[in-house]
């Protein structure tokens, strides 16, 4: 259970991503009806547009975007890392060029924390340095150590009690660096602990190995959050290893490509095979989309370039994922998680 000023959330939990203060193609009401209880927004994007001061003046992110449940903001670290050649990292912070207009900006641990305080999310993240996969041991160690120094600076910079600050474990694909990072981060007594720098291109086995060394070193009584992971297999493997929180753009991004997520795997509804398939996207699903529309209709919307296709598939994909996590929660309660996972993988094509 995660308690926030905007309500409590049962764990494990999946958070849909609302990059620019909107879960793409959905109203907040649709997000809620799809089963989401907490969402993520991106500090980097909102800092650039509309600007955190505008959001602050609007009364904070909840009011600005019309979402009254809990919100988590990332620190901007991963987005700046993703800019590649457009950014330069020093001990002070990360200097980067805006992807919108090329203007120069600098995010430091203190500034990233201040921006997140202006946005007003319930959970905010420490500013971290992520490395690509593969990266050398020395480079990975240096970024991990800097992330620890930055984490302390974020902790000092944060004011007030309303927002929970989470630390982020780094250490790339190196077990000893992950362990060192996890111990040091846990020792800083954050409200929760995240694992960053995974799902950046490494094989699944590497991710699992890193989780296996990291999670046991993070306090069980505080939320453990695996950043950027949200596929069905990623979630169940994460929960098996003790993860409580997940986020991913997969649900809405694949929806915009015409793809549905189901317990059996992905379904590309552009496929001509669905032209006269009058069954729902996923049999037995109780989402608005599956209760009211057919594969045939959604394929038509995709073909006709109608925005409603993205909306209906986003609703389904978020519902399917939150339902999957709810089922995992039930399996945990009945002590049958391993069996749940095995049965899931029997039918899942990825």
Contacts to a copy of itself by CB under 8 A: 20-22, 24-30, 45, 49-50, 54, 57-59, 64-66, 275-276, 278, 288, 292-294, 296-297, 299-301, 303-304, 306-308, 310-312
SS3 string, 157-189, reads HCCCCCCEEEEEECCCCCHHHHHHHHHHHHHCC
Distance (Å, rounded) from C-alpha 176 to C-alpha 172? 10
Cβ closer to a copy of itself: 57 or 176?
A: 57
Going by their DSSP bridges, the two strands 192-195 and 224-226 should be labelled as parallel
Cβ closer to a copy of itself: 11 or 30?
A: 30
Q: To the nearest whole angstrom, how small is the minimum distance from the Cβ of residue 14 to a copy of itself?
A: 21
Q: What is the largest CA-CA distance in the chain?
A: 60
CB atoms within 10 A of CB 268: 14
- The C-alpha angle with vertex 45 and arms to 144 and 31, in degrees rounded to 5, equals 105
Q: Is 89 helix (H, G, I), strand (E, B) or coil?
A: strand
Q: Is 233 a catalytic residue?
A: no
Q: Is 74 a catalytic residue?
A: yes
Cβ closer to a copy of itself: 147 or 251?
A: 251
Exposed e or buried b for every residue in 10-27, given b needs 16+ CB within 10 A? ebbbbbbbbbebbbbbbe
Exposed e or buried b for every residue in 315-348, given b needs 16+ CB within 10 A? bbbbbbbbbbbeebbebeeeeebeebbeebeeeb
CB atoms within 10 A of CB 32: 15
Rounded (to 5) percent helix, strand, coil in the chain: 45, 15, 40
Distance (Å, rounded) from C-alpha 101 to C-alpha 227? 28
Q: To the nearest whole angstrom, how small is the minimum distance from the Cβ of residue 286 to a copy of itself?
A: 15
Q: 68, 74, 138, 244: which is the annotated catalytic residue?
A: 74
Q: To the nearest whole angstrom, how small is the minimum distance from the Cβ of residue 66 to a copy of itself?
A: 4
* Burial tier of 90 (Cβ tally within 10 Å: 0-12, 13-18, 19+): exposed
Distance (Å, rounded) from C-alpha 192 to C-alpha 233? 23
Cβ closer to a copy of itself: 15 or 48?
A: 48
Q: To the nearest whole angstrom, how small is the minimum distance from the Cβ of residue 309 to a copy of itself?
A: 9
Q: 122, 128, 244, 247: which is the annotated catalytic residue?
A: 247
Q: To the nearest whole angstrom, how small is the minimum distance from the Cβ of residue 54 to a copy of itself?
A: 6
Q: To the nearest whole angstrom, how small is the minimum distance from the Cβ of residue 30 to a copy of itself?
A: 8
Cβ closer to a copy of itself: 56 or 263?
A: 56
Active site residues: 74, 247
């Amino acid at each position: 259970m995660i308690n926030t000023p905007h309500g409590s959330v049962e764990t494990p939990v999946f958070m849909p991503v609302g990059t620019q203060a909107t879960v793409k193609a959905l109203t907040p009401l649709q997000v809620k009806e799809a089963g989401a209880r907490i969402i993520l927004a991106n500090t980097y994007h909102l800092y650039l547009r509309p600007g955190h001061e505008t959001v602050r003046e609007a009364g904070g992110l909840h009011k600005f975007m019309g979402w009254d449940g809990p919100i988590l903001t990332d620190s901007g670290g991963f987005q700046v890392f993703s800019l590649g050649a457009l950014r330069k990292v020093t001990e002070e912070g990360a200097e980067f060029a805006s992807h919108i207009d090329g203007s120069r900006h600098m995010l430091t641990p203190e500034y990233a924390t201040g921006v997140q305080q202006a946005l007003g999310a319930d959970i905010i993240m420490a500013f971290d340095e992520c490395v690509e996969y593969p990266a050398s041991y020395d480079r990975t160690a240096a970024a991990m150590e800097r992330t620890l120094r930055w984490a302390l600076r974020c902790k000092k910079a944060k004011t007030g009690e309303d927002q929970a600050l989470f630390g982020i474990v780094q250490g790339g694909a190196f077990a000893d660096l992950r362990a060192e990072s996890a111990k040091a981060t846990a020792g800083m007594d954050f409200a929760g602990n995240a694992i960053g720098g995974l799902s950046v291109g490494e094989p699944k086995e590497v991710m699992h190995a890193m989780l296996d060394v990291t999670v046991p070193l993070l306090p069980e009584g505080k939320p453990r959050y695996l950043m950027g992971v949200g596929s069905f297999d990623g979630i169940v493997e994460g929960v098996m290893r003790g993860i409580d929180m997940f986020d991913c753009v997969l649900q809405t991004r694949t929806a915009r490509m015409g793809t549905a997520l189901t317990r059996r795997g992905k379904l590309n509804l552009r496929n001509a095979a669905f032209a006269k398939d009058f069954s729902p996207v996923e049999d037995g699903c109780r989402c608005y989309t599956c209760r009211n529309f057919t594969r045939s209709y959604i394929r038509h919307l995709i073909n006709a370039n109608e925005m409603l296709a993205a909306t209906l598939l986003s609703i389904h994909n978020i519902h399917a994922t939150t339902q999957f996590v709810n089922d995992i929660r039930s399996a945990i309660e009945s002590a049958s998680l391993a069996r749940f996972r095995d049965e899931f993988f029997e039918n899942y094509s990825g």
